[in-house]
Amino acid sequence: MRYAQNDLDMNLRSLLLALCLAVPFVSEAQSPQDSESFHFSCVAWENLPFPELYYREGKVMLPIKLAPGNRSEIYRLQGETALELYVLKTDSQGKPNYEIVGRGALLPETKRMLFLLSETKATNGLPLALFGLDDSLKTFPPGTFRFINFTPYTLKAVFGGSTTTLPPKEVQVVKSNISQSGGFLPFLVSNNAGDTVFETRLYAQPTGREMVFITPVSDLQASRVAVKFISQIITPPAPTNQ
């Protein structure tokens, strides 16, 4: 299946922004993260308009490094109810000053999140939109694939020997049931009429986690979808000496 990469990136960016705006606001009255560390990573599909980003932990500003299309390293955040991103600017008096450019609420009872970052052209808000997902190993364990349907249609995915219904704007986690040696598994997406709208093979391994973003092509027709991936290898814990 062929599609225009620029159209896909623009379409996915718009859909991520719409999801960010649809996520219920989490009140500042919630308890901040306690001494048990909260961890997060970020991903952006393309270069953001800010060459350097920082996140706030109390009164300290800490740098974040991003590579388009890839997860950042994992960062720690304590004592906060939201992830706030800043840029360093110089004020009218020539003094350095941090300016907030994005904010995403932390999910309650979650100690690890992935934030998808996208630029927004809105004039009445912050220039970066943050869409947060529970990224804990309990919710998204190694050996699984997380499918996110960004289309306005209900789809079905055939993968790992099972068929999974994917409602619009929802997330489903599917076990790959792959052997220890890993390998490629067929992956098909069909619409309600039973027509195949995407087909490929995905590489699965017991130590890997794969996020699969199913997006409409620019014309938003149910007969055509495109797919993007974010992969991660989870290193098994070292054996302990008894």
Q: In this predicted model, what pLDDT tens digit does every residue of 104-160 receive, in sequence order?
A: 999 988 999 999 999 987 667 899 999 999 999 999 999 999 999 988 889 999 998
Closest CA to 230 of 131, 121, 86: 131
How far, rounded to the nearest angstrom, does the alpha carbon of residue 202 sit from its chain's CA centroid?
Answer: 19
Backbone angles phi, psi at 15, to 5 degrees: -70, -40
Q: What is the pLDDT of residue 223?
A: 67
- Domain boundaries in the chain? 5-21+31-134, 144-233
> Token pair of 110, please?
């979650």
Q: What is the pLDDT of residue 90?
A: 86
CATH topology assigned to domain 5-21+31-134: Immunoglobulin-like (2.60.40)
- Sign of torsion over alpha carbons 122, 123, 124, 128: positive
Q: Does the pLDDT of residue 31 top 80, yes or no?
A: no
Q: Does the pLDDT of residue 7 top 90, yes or no?
A: no
What distances in angstroms separate CA 42 from CA 62, 115, 127, one per listed residue? 14, 5, 16
Q: Coil, strand, or helix at residue 214?
A: strand
**Which of 10-14, 59-63, 141-145, 193-197 is least confident?**
10-14
CB-based contacts of 156, cutoff 8 Å, min separation 6: 163, 164, 165, 166, 189, 190, 191
Residue 35 confidence class, pLDDT cut points 50, 70, 90: very low
Residue 43 confidence class, pLDDT cut points 50, 70, 90: very high
- In this structure, the number of other CB atoms found within 10 A of the CB of residue 51 comes to 7
Q: What is the pTM of this model?
A: 0.79
CA gap 103, 125 in Å, rounded: 10
The one-letter amino acid at 59: K
pLDDT tens digits for 206-235? 999 999 999 887 655 556 899 999 999 998
CB-CB contact of 21 with 103 (8 Å): no
* Over residues 170-195, mean pLDDT: 92
Q: Does the pLDDT of residue 26 top 80, yes or no?
A: no
CB-CB contact of 98 with 121 (8 Å): no
